[in-house]
């Protein structure tokens, strides 16, 4: 499957149905994925969520139609799937910076959100060795640090190292997202097999996992493999992912990067 060709078909479908309800579940079926997997792949490749892309395309079109035509604001709002003129006006102003009623007087302020088109000839030849494993339910106990996509590169190793003397080496680490669809990082966890002080309990259900082995425990090496996974592996995969956190498992001077998948 050429994921970029499939996404171009999705973009064409979206354009034809902007004035109708668009169900991500149906879109995912078009490309042979679960809804969760499709949402993740779309957000990683496009750097925006699928729902946000649709919203921006609708608001972009709405601005042009309000300027060029004589339709009422409520009619445009209804056309583009807003329940009422108030919610439409708020979204419109956030996007364009002006109210719908001001479009005729200030058309120069309207913003254009272009259709995303994909280069179907992109080929990646980056090989990633992996295997599928199954792990029983795990009960872990953790400490976390609030962080974000930028700070995590320093926060993760700092949190890990700062707790070694007190609790020993943590066998697992985990990232918690505040926006899973767009991979916005919220917390970084280090996890232990036994309760220590007042650590929070984390239960990881039984699952199958993609295991990518990293012959290192250095943060730079782990981050590089993680980036390659999102850049190269995800756009090429046919696996459907589970809504579980990815884990890092440290043992024997190596790191197993674990990504949960559906059976």
Helix axes 35-46, 3-16, angle to 10 degrees: 100
Task: Please indicate, yes or no, if residue 119 is contained in any of the structural domains.
Answer: no
The pTM assigned to this predicted structure is 0.72
What's the rounded Cα separation, in Å, for the pair 217 and 226? 13
Same domain, 105 and 136: no
Burial of 164 (0-12, 13-18, 19+ CB in 10 A): exposed
Q: Which structural domain, as residue segments, surrounds residue 224? A: 131-261
What's the rounded Cα separation, in Å, for the pair 11 and 31? 12
Per-residue model confidence as pLDDT tens digits over 14-71: 999 999 999 999 999 998 889 988 998 898 888 889 999 999 999 999 999 999 888 9
CA within 13 Å, CB half, 80: 26
234 pLDDT higher than 70: yes
Domain count within the chain: 2
Burial of 76 (0-12, 13-18, 19+ CB in 10 A): buried
Same domain, 16 and 135: no
Same domain, 154 and 70: no
Average pLDDT over residues 135-162: 92
Task: Please indicate, yes or no, if residue 125 is contained in any of the structural domains.
Answer: no
Task: Please indicate, yes or no, if residue 52 is contained in any of the structural domains.
Answer: yes
CA within 13 Å, CB half, 245: 24
125 pLDDT higher than 70: no
CA within 13 Å, CB half, 220: 0
């Amino acid at each position: 499957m050429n994921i970029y060709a499939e996404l171009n078909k999705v973009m064409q479908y979206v354009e034809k149905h902007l004035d109708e309800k668009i169900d991500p579940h149906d879109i995912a079926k078009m490309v042979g994925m679960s809804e969760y997997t499709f949402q993740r792949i779309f957000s990683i490749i496009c750097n925006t969520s699928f729902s946000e892309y649709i919203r921006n395309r609708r608001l972009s079109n709405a601005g042009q139609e309000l300027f060029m035509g004589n339709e009422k604001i409520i009619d445009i709002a209804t056309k583009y799937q807003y329940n009422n003129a108030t919610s439409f006006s708020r979204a419109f102003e956030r996007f364009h910076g002006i109210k719908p009623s001001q479009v005729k007087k200030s058309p120069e302020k309207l913003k254009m959100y272009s259709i995303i088109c994909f280069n179907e000839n992109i080929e990646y030849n980056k090989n990633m060795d992996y295997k599928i494993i199954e792990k029983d339910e795990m009960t872990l106990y953790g400490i976390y640090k609030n962080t974000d996509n930028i700070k995590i590169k320093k926060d993760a190793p700092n949190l890990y190292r700062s707790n070694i003397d007190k609790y020993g080496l943590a066998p697992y680490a985990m990232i918690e997202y505040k926006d899973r669809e767009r991979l916005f990082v919220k917390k970084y966890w280090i996890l232990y097999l036994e309760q220590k002080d007042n650590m929070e309990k984390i239960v990881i259900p039984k699952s199958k996992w993609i295991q990518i082995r990293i012959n290192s425990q250095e943060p730079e090496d782990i981050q590089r493999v993680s980036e390659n996974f999102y850049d190269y592996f995800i756009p090429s995969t046919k696996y459907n992912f589970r809504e579980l956190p990815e884990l890092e498992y440290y043992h024997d001077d190596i790191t197993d990067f674990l990504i949960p998948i559906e059976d």
